[in-house]
Each structure stands twice: as structure tokens, then as C-alpha cells.
A and B are shown apart, each in its own frame.
Chain A
């Protein structure tokens, strides 16, 4: 049982790294959003498994937040936004799939080399989870760096944040995990709202927001 709980935790964390790789080569925004939703589902499974293994019921809250907010609400909202802005047919130059994937593999190797010896004294479930979480974080950074589109950058940031939640839940008994995941959700919500305002400004130039401002003044 001990062995199985370990393997299952590693399987789920490894699954997140795989899904991160899938995000790396998505060159259409809608595809990227779908893969991100899958990423959040795997995260939520992984957190739920940690909650069960560590018998820490508060982690189920974090898992629920991941599932509802990040796997459903945010992808759906961004989906609508992308369709409304009419950018869903745009193809992003990801900068060569081959080199990007190679860099991704390099980053995963780097995080293994750095984290496994450093965390040698931690218990094995946390040790490998940390290494995999760092891989997810670095791959998220890579996604942010290789994209120019604001929405894709946000998706990259959110996958990075998923890596952080994975690390935080893997650290047995860490306090404030739920609070921190809520704080991060607030941040993400702000980002999404920010993109919305930002894209309006970019797409329709000053006319539309001018109308918004006038409306606001009219209500004063």
C-alpha cells in the first residue's frame, strides 16, 4: 500500500509534466486552452490523492478549487473571449517545435539534477514530487517565453502556478496551502480580467473604452 500510494503520486505528477510538454507545441489558442484544462484536471487529481494519502482533508478544498476554477471556469471564460475577439484562427509561431521540445527536456533534466540530491533527506514522495513540480514550473516559464500572445502567456503562467500548487501540496503538513492557493486564484482572476480590458483596448482602439468611460461618467 505504501509503495502503491507513492507510485500513484508519481504517476499523477509525471502526468502533469507530460501535459506541460503537450502545451509546448500547441500552436492554436483553443488547442492550448483545452490542454490547459487537462493540466488542471490532472493537478486536481494529484492534489486529491495527496489529501487522501496524507489524510489532510483541507487539501480537498485546494483540489476542488483547481477543478472548478482552473479546469472549468477559466478555460471556458478564455474560450469565449478568444471567440469574441476572433483570434481563434491565428497560428502562433512557437519558434520551432523541435528546439522547444529539446529545451523542455533540458529543463526537466536540470530540475532532476538540482532537486533530487538537494532534497535527498526529505521523504521520497516529497522528493520526487518536488523535482516534477520544478519541471512543471520551468516548462511554464518556457511557455511564457516562447509565446507573444497575451492569452497564451497567461496560460503559461497558470500552468506554472499549477506546478507551485503541486509542490506545496507535496510538502507534507505545510500550513497555509489553502490560503495560498486562494491568494493565487485571486491573482489569476485579476490576470484574466486584465487581459479582457487589455485586449479590448488593443482590438478596438480607443473608441470602445471611451464609450465605457463616458458611461461611467454619466452615472456619477
Chain B
């Protein structure tokens, strides 16, 4: 295997950028829908395979702008996997959207090209060994997703894209100021030029940086990248962007893009943690996380649009993850990593299901969707399983991570555990309440569906993985996550 990798003209890590980059250009030239969808799947699949090779083979960090360590390889593998399965879902979903005339065939080249451009920018953001490059990648990811959210060109879609654009731009502007401050803190120690922005040198010298500058920088980075994570009170773009864009993009937003911003936040948290005099970043993250959790849990009760409902659920879960990493320590970090993985898989699976539900029922209004398990048994029951998983019912993987998080919080900070549990229970109640209405009872009328039913494979794979993780976590994976949890401190 590894000798085979050496025969390639480029390193596997470069392939993470080269494959989507070339595919984006190629797809921009393919107007036929079927061919484009296949190339899109193929490119995403190849990217995922190359990401897998990073588990066994690491490039030398000193020779490249890119680097791989135990932390970001988790994000890369998860991200490219969700990107691959979403491209399979997207093939059948977008085909149907074209049939019913919601999407103009002329936008196909644009859509597929942007899909790969997004994959490119996310891989770049996750593997960049330079905080400036990472920022550029996050900006690129924002731009591509803004364009995708506005894809349907309806009034609502354009408004959602606009709101996302303005809030996202302010967020990344603040993140850039934070990045500049980190450079200013590093310059007296490391010296001028590129080295003072290279991640591996930054973390090695962080203990000698000026703590005051680091503190101020972290506030800006947290507000900036926190906007992209969707933490309350900076979340306003997220529900609109999820609800108005095409469903594969909602899946990618929740499953991938939020994680990329979270990754950036974690990197800077590690930088602060490496400096003993700087303020502890944990409490800030814990506060933002709890606020997001409780706020989103209440908002779940008021939603009338099914995609918006699950967008708020994403805010809730990103809050939980931020809380876990803010608590820190081996157990909470482990719970945070596991929760992030499970949330990505489950939430994208739910969006796969919700996209089909909206297609067969012809609406996104929760009140108009009833009795799914009766009218569409496979789809309805998958949605039930997915929502049960995201609400935190055993034996699914999210139950495991939430249980770990709650028990470790009780052991260390019992007072913080109270709002945590209240938030979890509130969200649980809202989701189950909404689910019973949508899944059971007398079926509401369906759209007469002439087209081929979309592929259920990605949905089932995701839910199966979440179920397996809930029943049994393989030993090597546990050891890996424990190692990363120690790295995060």
C-alpha cells in the first residue's frame, strides 16, 4: 500500500486539493446533468480514498504549506466521507429538482463546480499549516456556500444568502483581525515573515508570546470563527441558510462547514492553552456553548419549517460540542470529538431524509407533513431513527457522547451540569413532539411522484454507522480519540 502511494506523481495530502480543484474546473464545463453528477461522485470518492491514506502515511510538515496531525486527520476523514455520501444523495435529489422544474438545468455546471470548490476550500482549511492560509480557505468556503444557498434564485433564497453573506463576512473580518494579532504576538519571538504564521512553529513557541495580545486575539477569533460555527448570539444566518438552500447543501453545511470553523477555533484554543499566562479559553467556550444550547432548545418549539427545525438543532449540538471542548480534560474532549463525529453523520442523514420528505410532500411546513411512516414507510422510519438519534436516545452514538459529557460535567462542575441537562431535556422534548406529528397519524396528501425514488444508501450507511458507534466503539478508534483528547488539553 505505502509503496504504491510513492508511485504517485503527488503526495496524498496534495491530492486532497488537486482532485477537487481539477474536478471543479472539469465540472464547470459539463452541462449534462447525469454525467456531471457521476463525475462529482467519482471526484468526491477519490478525495475520500486519499484522505484515508493519511491515516497510514504522513507528509513531512517542514516542506509544505500543508500538514497532518492526529487532530486534523479526524476532521479530514470525516469531512471527505460526508462529502462523498452527500454527492451520492445529491445526484438523485438534484435530478428530481430539475424534473419538477425548481432548478434550472443551466445551473448544473455552476452547482457541481461549486460543490467541488467547497470541498477544495474545506480540505485546504483543515490541512493548512499557516493561519493566514487557513483564513483564506474559510473565506473561500463562505463564498462558495453563499452562492449555493442562493441557488434557487427565489426571493427567500436570495435573502437568506444575503444575510449569510453579510454576517459571515463580518465574522471572517473579525477572525482576520484576530489572526493579525496572533502574528503580532508571534513576531517578537519568531521573527518577521512566513514563519510567524506557520502553525507548527506557533504552537512550539506559544509559551513565549505576549499573553495580553493572545487574549485580545482570542476574543476576536472566537467571535469571528464562532459566527461560522453558529454559536448564539452569532447564529442568525444559520437557520435561513439551511432552510432556503438545496438540501445537499444543508447537509454539507451542518456536517462539514461548521466543523471546519470549529477546527479553527480548537487550533487557537490549543495555542492559548500552551501559554501559561494567557487567559484560559475554556470558560469562554463553555459560556457560548451553554447559551447556544439553551437558546436553541427553546427555539426548537417555535419552528414551523422542518429544515429550519433541524438547523436550530445544529446550533444546539454545536453548542454542546463547544461546551465539551471548553470543559477540556481527557473525558470531555473525548466526548466532544465523538459528539462532533456523530452529529455530522446523523445530521447529514436527517437532511437526506428531510430533503426527500419535502419532495414527496411538496412542502417544508411541519404542519402539512403527517403520517410519513404510513405513506412512505422506509423514508418515514429512517427519519424516526435519525431524529431519535439526534435527540439522544440510546442505543445510538449521540447518546454515548452526551452521556459521557453529562457524567464528566457532573463529576467536575455539578453546577454547570444543571443547565446542560435542562437544555438537553428541552431539546429532546421539542424534537420528539415534532417527530410524532410528522411521522405518525393520518397521512397528509403526497405529491404524485413520477420520478425514480432517490437513493436511500447514503442515509442508511450514516445511520448504521451511528448505531454501530452507539453499540460498540472499535478499540483503535477509542485509542485515537483519546490521543487527540490529550493533545487538546
**B177 at interface (Cβ–Cβ under 8 A)?**
yes
- A198 contacts the other chain (CB 8 A): yes
Taken together as a complex, chains A and B put the C-alpha atoms of A164 and B176 apart, in Å, by 7
Q: Are B132 and A180 in contact (CB under 8 A)?
A: yes
Q: Which of B189-207 contact A (CB under 8 A)?
A: 192-194, 196-197
From residue 115 to 145 of chain A, which have CB atoms closer than 8 A to chain B?
115, 117-122, 126, 130, 133-134, 137, 141, 144
Closest 8 CB pairs of A and B: A173-B192, A176-B132, A118-B212, A175-B194, A118-B216, A121-B210, A167-B180, A118-B213
Beyond contacts A118-B210, A160-B170, A220-B106: 16 other A-B pairs, Cβ-Cβ < 8 A, are: A134-B177, A137-B174, A157-B166, A168-B176, A171-B180, A171-B183, A171-B187, A173-B193, A176-B130, A176-B197, A180-B132, A183-B140, A190-B146, A206-B155, A213-B104, A217-B106
**A194's contact among B130, B155, B165, B213, by CB below 8 Å, is which?**
B165
How many A-B pairs have beta carbons closer than 8 Å: the answer is 111
Question: With A118-B212, A187-B169, A198-B158 known to touch, is A174 a contact of B104 (CB < 8 Å)?
Answer: no
On whether the beta carbons of B197 and A172 are closer than 8 Å, the reply is: no
Sample (18) of A-B pairs whose CB atoms are under 8 Å apart = A114-B216, A119-B213, A121-B213, A122-B184, A122-B210, A137-B177, A141-B170, A160-B170, A174-B197, A175-B132, A175-B197, A179-B132, A191-B169, A194-B165, A198-B159, A201-B155, A217-B104, A217-B106
Task: Give the residues from 141 to 175 in chain B that come closer than 8 angstroms, CB to CB, to chain A.
Answer: 143, 146, 153, 155, 158-159, 161-162, 165-166, 169-170, 173-174
Q: What residue in chain A is nearest B210 (Cβ atoms)? A: A121
B233: interface (CB < 8 Å): no
On whether the beta carbons of B135 and A180 are closer than 8 Å, the reply is: yes
Is A201 a contact partner of B158 (Cβ separation < 8 A)?
yes
Report how many residues on chain B are interfacial, defined by Cβ distance under 8 Å. 42
Residues of B within 8 A of A (CB): 104-106, 130, 132-133, 135-136, 139-140, 143, 146, 153, 155, 158-159, 161-162, 165-166, 169-170, 173-174, 176-177, 180-181, 183-184, 187-188, 192-194, 196-197, 210, 212-213, 215-216
- Decide: B143 and A187 in contact? CB cutoff 8 A: yes
Indicate if the CB atoms of A216 and B106 lie closer than 8 Å. yes
The residue of chain A having its C-beta at the shortest distance from the C-beta of B198 within the complex is: A175
Question: Is there an interface contact between A176 and B133, defined as CB atoms closer than 8 Å?
Answer: yes
| Residue pair A216, B104 in contact (C-beta under 8 Å) | yes
Could you tell me the distance between the alpha carbons of A220 and B104 in the complex, rounded to whole angstroms? 10
What does the 1/0 interface line of A204-220 toward B look like (CB < 8 Å)? Answer: 00100100010011001
List chain A residues, Cβ under 8 A from B155. 201, 206
A152 to B409, CA, bound (A): 46
Using A168-B180, A175-B193, A194-B165 as known contacts, say yes or no to A121 and B173 having CB atoms under 8 A apart. no
A192–B212 Cα distance when bound, in Å, is 37
A60 CB to nearest chain B CB (Å): 18
User: What is the number of residues of chain A that contact chain B, defined by CB distance less than 8 Å?
Assistant: 46
Residues on the A chain within 8 Å of B177, using CB: 133-134, 137, 164, 167
Q: Does A100 contact B (CB under 8 A)?
A: no
Instruction: Verify B139–A183 contact, CB threshold 8 A.
Output: yes
CA distance A197 to B159 in the complex (A): 11
**Structural contact, A194 and B135, CB atoms closer than 8 A:** no
Partner-B contacts on A (CB < 8 A): 114-115, 117-122, 126, 130, 133-134, 137, 141, 144, 150, 153, 157, 160-161, 164, 167-168, 171-176, 179-180, 183, 186-187, 190-191, 194, 197-198, 201, 206, 209, 213, 216-217, 220
Alpha-carbon distance between A172 and B213 when the two chains are bound, in angstroms: 16
Chain B residues closer than 8 Å to A180, beta-carbon distance: 132, 135-136, 176
With A117-B212, A180-B132 as given contacts, are A164 and B173 in contact (CB-CB < 8 Å)? yes
| Residue in chain B with minimal CB distance to A153 | B166
Shortest CB–CB separation between residue A147 and chain B, in angstroms? 11
A183 to B197, CA, bound (A): 17
Give min CB distance, A174 to chain B, whole Å.
5
A102 vs B143: C-alpha distance in the bound complex, in angstroms?
A: 35
Q: Are B183 and A174 in contact (CB under 8 A)?
A: yes
Which residues of chain B are near A141, meaning CB under 8 Å? 170
- Bound together, the chains give a CA A89 to CA B140 distance in angstroms of 36
Q: How far is B143's CA from A144's CA once the two chains are assembled, in angstroms? A: 20
A44 to chain B, nearest CB (A): 19
Contact call A130/B158, Cβ cutoff below 8 A: no
Known: A175-B132, A176-B133, A194-B165. A122 touches B188 (CB 8 A): yes
Question: Among the listed A114, A164, A173, which residue makes an inter-chain contact with B180, where contact means beta carbons less than 8 Å apart?
Answer: A164
Residues of A within 8 A of B104 (CB): 213, 216-217
Residues of chain B within 8 A (CB-CB) of A175 are 132, 193-194, 196-197
Q: How far is the CA of A158 from the CA of B139 in the complex (A)?
A: 16
- Smallest distance from the beta carbon of A80 to chain B beta carbons, Å? 20
- Contacting residues, chain B, for A121 (C-beta < 8 A): 188, 210, 213
Contact status A191-B165, CB under 8 Å:
yes
How far apart sit A160 and B171, CA to CA, in the bound complex (Å)?
A: 12
Q: CA–CA, A209 to B155, complex, Å?
A: 11
Nearest neighbor of A179 in chain B, beta-carbon distance: B136
A220 touches B213 (CB 8 A): no
Chain A residues contacting B158 (CB-CB under 8 Å) are 197-198, 201
Contacts of A171 in B (CB 8 A): 180, 183-184, 187
Closest-CB distance, B176 to chain A (whole angstroms):
5
- With contacts A173-B193, A198-B158 taken as known, whether A213 is within 8 angstroms of B212 at the C-beta atoms is no
List residues of chain B with CB within 8 A of the CB of A172: 187, 192
Residues of A near B212 (CB, < 8 A) are 117-120
In the complex the two chains form, what is the Cα distance from A198 to B155 in whole Å? Answer: 9
Contact B153 A190 (CB under 8 A): no
Give the shortest distance, in Å, between B178 (CB) and chain A (any CB). Answer: 10
Which residues on A sit within 8 Å (CB–CB) of B192? Answer: 172-173
- The listed residue (A117, A137, A197, A198) touching B173 by CB distance below 8 A is A137
How far in angstroms is the closest Cβ of chain B from A49? 18
CA distance A114 to B133 in the complex (A): 27
Give Cα A175 to B194, complex, Å.
6
A157 touches B162 (CB 8 A): no
With a cutoff of 8 Å between Cβ atoms, the chain A residues found around residue B146 in the complex are 190
Most buried by A among B106, B184, B196: B184
> A220 touching B188 by the CB < 8 A rule?
no
> Which A residues touch B130, using CB under 8 A?
176
Assembly CA distance A130 to B184 (angstroms): 10
| Known A-B contacts A137-B177, A213-B104; A144 and B170 likewise in contact (beta carbons under 8 Å) | yes
